[in-house]
Amino acid sequence: MANYWNQEIECMSREDMKKLQDERLVAQVKHVYENVEYYRNLMDEKGIKPEDIQSIDDIHKLPFLTKADLRDAYPYGLLAKPLSECVRIQSTSGTTGKRVVAFYTQNDIELWENCCARAIVAAGGTKDDVCQVAYGYGLFTGGPGLNGGSHKVGCLTLPMSSGNTERQIGFMRDLGSTIICCTPSYAAYIGETLHEMGLTPDDISLKAGIFGAEPWTEEMRKSIEKSLGIKAYDIYGLTETSGPGVSFECCEQTGMHINEDHFYPEIINPDTGEVLPEGEVGELVFTSLTKEAFPLLRYRTRDLCVLSRKKCSCGRTLIKMRKPMGRSDDMLIIRGVNVFPSQIETVLIEQGYSPNYLIEVDRVNNTDTLDISVEMNPEQFSDKMKVMQEQEKALALAIKTMLGINPKVHLVSPKSITRSEGKAVRVVDRRKLHD
């Protein structure tokens, strides 16, 4: 059984969706050209006028925007509406550098919350649910976005924000929360705490979780589903395009449907900017078709991803994106080999370790070093040095098989790696400090 928040849009025929996107793009380009000097200059430099954009097929003519442009234009340079018409400011988490700010009109908030409502309904949410929002509130978009979506659906909303994990579990039990929204790393921590409190999934009423804001693996999904007794759904977004809700998972759990009536996706070759065909891995680029205050055209997310138009069993026709593999700038190049932290996470969980780990990269005598500290579960711990060394060797070998390079693995005692209540920091690249 599939439920939709906006069936007309979510199940629209391709032709109708294309028509809607054509109209919206033409109007949006005009709006941006007339109101955003920064982007007008980029278009003028390329010799592109709004009249050159007649349909979505012309989108490739438009210049890209990058995070560097956002920093250049900070704070008001990309604003397309007078401040008097804006009602909200949110900001990125600053995971990869200086924060950027985004502005919203009342309509922008509406469309964002509607996108989050689609995600909640796709995860089985109805007005009878109790939705605990444990993403951070404040400038970060996670809390406010899901909070708004939850209100729209009519769920009884618990604006918990992140942190104070035992209290989260206390309220979850007292108030019978059925849906939880937070980062996947925080969900794993909540699951762990639940078990430490001597409780099991039978002691709570959760049925679904909506997790995003950071990369996570299929193995992590399975582990969270088990520890909380739920179905775990992915949700994706970024502050620059609104926040969470740009795309969301349905019951099929094979990638996220993009709300392409608002956010037009492209995949490009990150080196050449060339648009790649469906099915190829590349950098995800979004054009906001409807936002008024902060309408970014062809914004390069740096997230590496694949798009798919394969028919989905849920009935939605919205294009799907695969779980992002991480950002192009998350990719580590170690001894010439490309390494994604998510590959390491996959091996750790497959080998029965917890998702609590820290990857440290350095350069010693001109050679890159890769050290991975991995936390043991209490039952994996042994006071025999030899046993521990053998476990470390076995894990190092499994990682070497996956990556092609030899790491140094350090098994560390239970609870010694800091838990994350928001976006987890799992990589320390000390080479950058020497440069």
Site for ligand ADP, rule CB under 6 A: 92-96, 212-215, 234-239, 301, 303, 323-324, 327
Minimum separation from the CB atom of position 222 to ligand ADP (A): 16
Q: At 276, is the secondary structure helix, strand, or coil?
A: coil
307 near Zn ion (CB under 5 A): no
Minimum separation from the CB atom of position 415 to ligand ADP (A): 26
Beta-carbon-side half-sphere exposure of residue 368 (alpha carbons within 13 Å): 18
Residues in the chain, overall count: 435
Place of tokens 């109708």: 16
Q: Which is nearer to ligand ADP, 172 or 213 (CB)?
A: 213
Q: Give the H or E element holding residue 385.
A: helix 385-403
Report the partner that residue 421 touches, choosing among ligand ADP, Zn ion, none (CB closer than 5 to 8 A by kind). none
Closest to 146 measured CA to CA, from 191, 174, 185, 116: 116
Minimum separation from the CB atom of position 375 to Zn ion (A): 35
Rg (CA), the chain: 22
Q: How far is residue 381's CA from residue 411's CA, in Å, rounded to a whole number?
A: 9
Q: Which residues contact 249 (CB under 8 A, 6 or more apart)?
A: 119, 122, 123, 233, 234, 235, 255, 256, 257
Report the partner that residue 94 touches, choosing among Zn ion, ligand ADP, none (CB closer than 5 to 8 A by kind). ligand ADP
Structure tokens at 145: 């976005």
314 near Zn ion (CB under 5 A): yes
CA distances from 274 to 64, 285, 398 (A): 11, 11, 36
Candidates 77-85, 315-323, 328-336, 404-412 — which segment interacts with Zn ion by CB under 5 A? 315-323
12 near Zn ion (CB under 5 A): no
Q: Give the distance from CA 87 to its chain's centroid.
A: 25
Minimum separation from the CB atom of position 102 to ligand ADP (A): 9
Report the partner that residue 215 touches, choosing among ligand ADP, Zn ion, none (CB closer than 5 to 8 A by kind). ligand ADP
Minimum separation from the CB atom of position 146 to ligand ADP (A): 12
Report the partner that residue 161 touches, choosing among Zn ion, ligand ADP, none (CB closer than 5 to 8 A by kind). none
Q: Is 127 exposed, middle or buried (0-12, 13-18, 19+ CB in 10 A)?
A: exposed
Pairing label, strands 263-268, 179-182: unpaired
Minimum separation from the CB atom of position 67 to ligand ADP (A): 8
Report the partner that residue 314 touches, choosing among ligand ADP, Zn ion, none (CB closer than 5 to 8 A by kind). Zn ion
Report the partner that residue 250 touches, choosing among Zn ion, ligand ADP, none (CB closer than 5 to 8 A by kind). Zn ion
Minimum separation from the CB atom of position 22 to ligand ADP (A): 27
Q: Which is nearer to ligand ADP, 12 or 188 (CB)?
A: 188
Q: How far is residue 398's CA from residue 404's CA, in Å, rounded to a whole number?
A: 10
Q: Which is nearer to Zn ion, 138 or 315 (CB)?
A: 315
Q: How far is residue 159's CA from residue 280's CA, in Å, rounded to a whole number?
A: 39
Q: Which is nearer to ligand ADP, 23 or 218 (CB)?
A: 218
118 near Zn ion (CB under 5 A): no
Q: Is 136 exposed, middle or buried (0-12, 13-18, 19+ CB in 10 A)?
A: buried
Which of 67, 221, 262, 316: binder of Zn ion (CB under 5 A)? 316
Structure tokens at 191: 């699951």
Minimum separation from the CB atom of position 412 to Zn ion (A): 40
- Tell me whether the omega of the peptide bond preceding residue 63 falls within 30 degrees of 0, making it cis: no
312 near Zn ion (CB under 5 A): yes
Site string for Zn ion, 235-264 (x = CB under 5 A): ---------------x-x------------
- Give contact residues for Zn ion (rule: CB under 5 A): 250, 252, 312, 314, 316
